[in-house]
Structure 1
Amino acid sequence: MFGSGSDRPGPYVSPSARELLPDAGDVGAPPSSPLRHFEPIALPKLPGKPLAPTIDLPGLPAYAPTNGPDKNFLQRRQTLSLRAVLSEGGAQVPNGLVWRLFSAVPPIDGSSSLIASSQSATPDFDVPPGTYILHVGFGRAGIVKRIDFAGVKIQETVVLDAGGLKLNAVVGDDGKPAASRLSFDIYSEDENDEVGRKLVASDVPPEKVVRLNAGSYQVVSHYGSANAVVRADIRVEAGKITEATLTQRAALLTMKLVREHGGEAIADTAWTITTASGDLVRQSVGAFTTIVLAEGDYVIAAKNSEKIYQRPFSVEAGHDADVEVLTSDLAATSDAFGTGD
């Protein structure tokens, strides 16, 4: 406790803080200035009172960086090298690969766990030791594999167990090619699935190699866009290109309405083609209509100037032909075009 009167100490400011105070004439907050170090505070001299012993303290910096261990030191990165083969003991796949390396533990925030990706034939991933999930895509073939990387530089071989499928088709017994109007759909082998077979590839042109996982598939061949459809079950072998040629029982036909055989086609004609049992196959409008139809019996109806002309005809596989409808083939009713209700 201090006494009253002259023994009471007055206000005191440390020398380091005094440097920050404004002059007497300044108004407002004092300007900011970074502290370079903390100085020891000198104690005031009191009359008749001995000073406390002085302590010589070194100046302390305002910021001291943390000299902690580097995370790269704790998780030393090594090279994980990869290569792929189609089958066990097969040659290395030279191109067409897509590699994606994921963390085995997904992030808490739900973000992607993709660590690295590459399209190289032999990618090198510089990653710390740990467990990873690897996905390798090869066309429509692919494999997912768990990798336990010990941090030792190695080259790991991934067996894709995949092959290729090349499709084509011919028309009729003579083996006439039909490439200009031919396409294929490929479905998975799982016919016991509740939703049926899964579509793997669609609108595949002939002679194109489709990369697939080894296994059985159902192939659907479309010749044209009407009813010329053929199905076949085909097995793809790992490390091989499987070639398959299907046979279409169909023909390419051109329809036209004429006043006499070999005459000029009449424009603005509406066409309706049905099976012999009355099932609708195709409708179109134009002077000519070209269509691929499966082998069988049909009825063709042509409507022009509110008149309907109709005749039956047959399709023989592989025999492309022109089908002429004469204006003398006047239909008795207009049932082929419906009532419009």
Structure 2
Amino acid sequence: MQNPTTLLNRIKDTRAKVQRFVMTALCAVLISALPGTAQAQTNAPMPPAMKPDPNAPSAASQEPIQNLLDREPEPLFSDNTLVPYAPASGSIQGTAEGLDGGALYLMAKLTRDSQPLNDNLIWRIYSETTNADGRLQLIATSKGGDAEFRLDPGAYMIHTSYGYAQATNRIVIGKEVLSKMVTLNAGGIKFDATLPDGAPLESGPVTFDIYSREFDQRGERDLIASSVKPGSIIRLNADTYHIVSRYGDANAEIRADIQVLPGKLTEATIFHKAADITLKLVNERGGEAIANTTWSVLSPGGDVVVEATGAFPDFVLAAGEYEAVARNNGRTYLHTFTVEPGADREVEVVSSISELVSGSSRAN
């Protein structure tokens, strides 16, 4: 059995050894954190890397750097459709040179849901400041489909036309790239004319005039397009228009209000109740026409419908009853006749008194 004093001394020695071990370990950790030690560890050779697994799936590619011209465009003028930026295909005139201004890329379509238009567009860029004549100053133009303009920083008016359809928008541009879509909200109308029996009037003297439906302060309609031929397609903003169709130059005229829908082609067929009438002054029925004759065609109320001079005056007249007045060599000859729809014919006015008496009861 050990002496208690000896046992106590041995316990104290063991405790001192444990404390020295702990202090040595702490010093080793602190030394490894010093800069010199870290640099030494960094310079130590790295273990060889593992070979890649050929069957492992490939990593997703990184997003490429986005070009400024390919950036997400701003909302358009008329709706919220986005358009990509691309070089303009139309010819550009009057654009600002240099890199000190902004770039404006424009596209247009008929409706929100239609495809962009590729041709027949006319773009005009106006400054908001007026010139000496009090008009907006034209800055640049472009024809075709999409258009690109280089503009100095400032405010501009953009006028877009597609046939008779048009839109005007205002834009403020700085030293930036803008991409805009113009929605015209437009459609088209195609005109045709026929006789009541369905016979088309393709080669005849038929024209169409397009007016606005509303009257101005003078009580007149604004003329939008004139002398439109049958078969023509006219592009217009979506609205209701007043159409006047004329067959010939006299009184064969039909009026109608026609609605143009956005993105649609409206086909309008006008039925003319009229006929082509040729007048002749003759000494006897079936005889030769007398030259140097002055003609007047009167309505039943006595109003002058049309006048002409010659041996064979030709008129397109609306269906109805008329009186022909022929003047030749100081004498006046009268004859009443009727026009039937689609019945083109010659009307003879006889100068012989005997013929007039014998033929007064016959319809000519």
TM-score normalized with structure 2 length = 0.66
User: Does 1:220 find its partner at 2:244?
Assistant: yes
1:121-136 matches, cutoff 5 A: 121-136=145-160
Change (3 A) 1:229 1:121: same
Deviations 1:276-327, CA, capped at 9 Å, x for gaps: 2211111211111110111111111212222222111111111111101112
Change (3 A) 1:108 1:260: closer
Deviations 1:155-187, CA, capped at 9 Å, x for gaps: 21110111212112112x202222321011110
Cα distance in 1 between the residues matched to 2:130 and 2:351: 73
1:92-103 matches, cutoff 5 A: 92-103=116-127
Aligned equivalent of 1:4: none
Deviations 1:48-90, CA, capped at 9 Å, x for gaps: xxxxxxxxxxxxxxxxxxxxxxxx99x8433211111011121
SS, match of residue 243 in structure 2: strand
Q: Which amino acid aligns with 2:349?
A: V
Which of residues 179, 182, 185 is equivalent to 1:158? 182
Between structure 1 and structure 2, the one with the greater Rg is: 2
Cα distance in 2 between the residues matched to 1:228 and 1:280: 14
Aligned equivalent of 1:306: 330
State whether residues 99 and 118 of structure 1, in contact with CA within 8 Å, keep that contact through their aligned partners in structure 2. yes
Segments of structure 1 that go 5 or more residues without pairing to the other structure are 1-71, 333-341
Cα distance in 1 between the residues matched to 2:241 and 2:218: 17
User: Does 1:119 find its partner at 2:143?
Assistant: yes
Segments of structure 2 that go 5 or more residues without pairing to the other structure are 1-96, 358-364
Q: Count the aligned residue pairs.
A: 259
Cα distance in 2 between the residues matched to 1:261 and 1:111: 65
TM-score normalized with structure 1 length = 0.70
- Which one has a larger percent helix, Structure 1 or Structure 2? 2
Larger displacement relative to structure 2 (108-117 or 221-230): 108-117
User: Does 1:251 find its partner at 2:282?
Assistant: no
Aligned equivalent of 1:321: 345
Shift of 1:151: 4.2
Change (3 A) 1:243 1:76: same
Cα distance in 2 between the residues matched to 1:197 and 1:107: 30
1:4-15 matches, cutoff 5 A: none
1:1-341 matches, cutoff 5 A: 76-106=100-130, 112-149=136-173, 151-171=175-195, 173-179=196-202, 180-191=204-215, 193-328=217-352
State whether residues 188 and 266 of structure 2, in contact with CA within 8 Å, keep that contact through their aligned partners in structure 1. yes
Change (3 A) 1:283 1:120: closer
Shift of 1:129: 4.3
Provide the alpha-carbon RMSD of the alignment.
Answer: 2.5
Cα distance in 2 between the residues matched to 1:250 and 1:127: 57
State whether residues 101 and 176 of structure 2, in contact with CA within 8 Å, keep that contact through their aligned partners in structure 1. no
SS, match of residue 119 in structure 1: strand
Cα distance in 1 between the residues matched to 2:113 and 2:212: 26
SS, match of residue 191 in structure 2: strand
Cα distance in 2 between the residues matched to 1:87 and 1:147: 21
Deviations 1:4-47, CA, capped at 9 Å, x for gaps: xxxxxxxxxxxxxxxxxxxxxxxxxxxxxxxxxxxxxxxxxxxx
Larger displacement relative to structure 2 (198-207 or 111-120): 111-120
Deviations 1:199-227, CA, capped at 9 Å, x for gaps: 11111111111121110000001010011
Q: Which amino acid aligns with 1:148?
A: V
State whether residues 140 and 212 of structure 1, in contact with CA within 8 Å, keep that contact through their aligned partners in structure 2. yes
Change (3 A) 1:316 1:240: same
Cα distance in 1 between the residues matched to 2:318 and 2:353: 24
